[in-house]
Amino acid sequence: MTFIHTKASRVLLAHRHVSMNVTGWTANHSLNMSQVTSLLDEGHRYIPGLLDGQITLNGLLDTSAESLYELMREVRETPDGMVTTLLPAGLAAGRPAFITEANSSGFTIDATVTDAVSMTVEGQPQEGVDWGVCLHPHTTVTGSGEGPSVDDGAESTTGGVATLHVTAATGAAPDLDVVIQDSEDELVWVDLVEFERATGPTHQYVRFDGPIERYVRATWALEGEDTTATFAVAVARR
């Protein structure tokens, strides 16, 4: 058995890596069930309905420029502004990633005389919380490249969702193009998701349809003079 301590987990929200302000988090994914029981049934019967979910971030109040508090001031009234990737086992390709596009639904400050001021951020996802994998950890690159192949076990046919979090881009006119590719044999790779070009800190959430082959990876092209980019990528099948 392999257990994971919470201190290994990481949180990416919009265009920031906010783990330094987070002390814990929860992610809930649910599928509402509609009852279709008739008089002739011996027990309750249901059919699946709508996806739903909830995310909660618990943390410490920090008013510095790059903090979770200041980020929430920025995105709290932005529709679907809480593009979030939660990584319970840390930032490494192939590790689990829970990703969602959510609206800010609650913000609570808790202050007591014996403790540091804490806060709770709540988000209401659109279409629930999807369970996927990290394809590129939150690291800095200095040129074009590709991530390792991630074996998702089997192909799927019902599309998915993907997130890109760019937290920094430096140099003269940095242009970052990130693509998710899939393959049935790890030999021939085909573009699956093409994110919009990033020229600075940004975040993107993409829904896509169609089949996904067994293997997936992230590739990127970074252009410009003396440029660097720090970003993370995740994908989830549906």
> Which DSSP string do the residues of 154-183 spell out, in sequence order?
S-BSS-EEEEEEEEEEEEEEEEEEEEEEEE
| Boundary of a domain, candidates 84, 113, 130 | 130
In this prediction, residues 164-173 reach a mean pLDDT of 96
Give the total number of structural domains in the chain: 2
Q: What is the mean pLDDT of the chain?
A: 95
Q: 77, 101, 130: which is the final residue of a domain? A: 130
Domain termination site, one of 95, 130, 165? 130
Asked whether residue 16 falls in the same domain as residue 124, the answer is yes
Asked whether residue 118 falls in the same domain as residue 141, the answer is no
Tokens matching residue 67:
């903090």
Q: What is the mean pLDDT of residues 91-103?
A: 96
17 and 112 co-located in one domain: yes
Taking the C-alpha atoms of residue 79 and residue 198, their distance in angstroms, rounded to an integer, is 20
Residues 17 and 111 in one domain: yes
Same domain membership, residue 12 and residue 85: yes
Shared domain for 10 and 118, answered yes or no, is yes
Q: Taking residues 132-154, what's their average pLDDT?
A: 96
Pair 91, 202 in one domain: no
Q: Verify that 10 and 119 share a domain, yes or no.
A: yes
Residue 1 has pLDDT above 80, yes or no: no
- Assess whether 97 and 75 both reside in one domain: yes
Rounded CA-CA distance 118/98 in Å is: 24
When pLDDT is averaged across residues 81-85 and rounded to a whole number, the result is: 96
Whether residue 121 sits in one domain with residue 19: yes
Backbone angles phi, psi at 83, to 5 degrees: -75, 115
- CATH code of the domain covering residue 142: 2.60.120.1110
**For 130-136, what is the mean pLDDT?**
97
Question: Which pLDDT score is estimated for 192?
Answer: 98
Residue 42 lies in a domain: no
Same domain flag for 15 and 114: yes
Mean pLDDT on 58-75: 93
In a domain, 37, yes or no: no
Q: Are both 124 and 140 inside the same structural domain?
A: no
What is the model's pTM?
Answer: 0.93
The four Cα atoms 91, 149, 183, 132 give a dihedral, to 10 degrees, of -20
What pLDDT was estimated at residue 105?
A: 95
Residue 208: predicted pLDDT: 97
Q: How confident is the model at residue 106 (pLDDT cuts 50, 70, 90)?
A: very high
The pLDDT confidence band at residue 2, using thresholds 50, 70 and 90, is confident
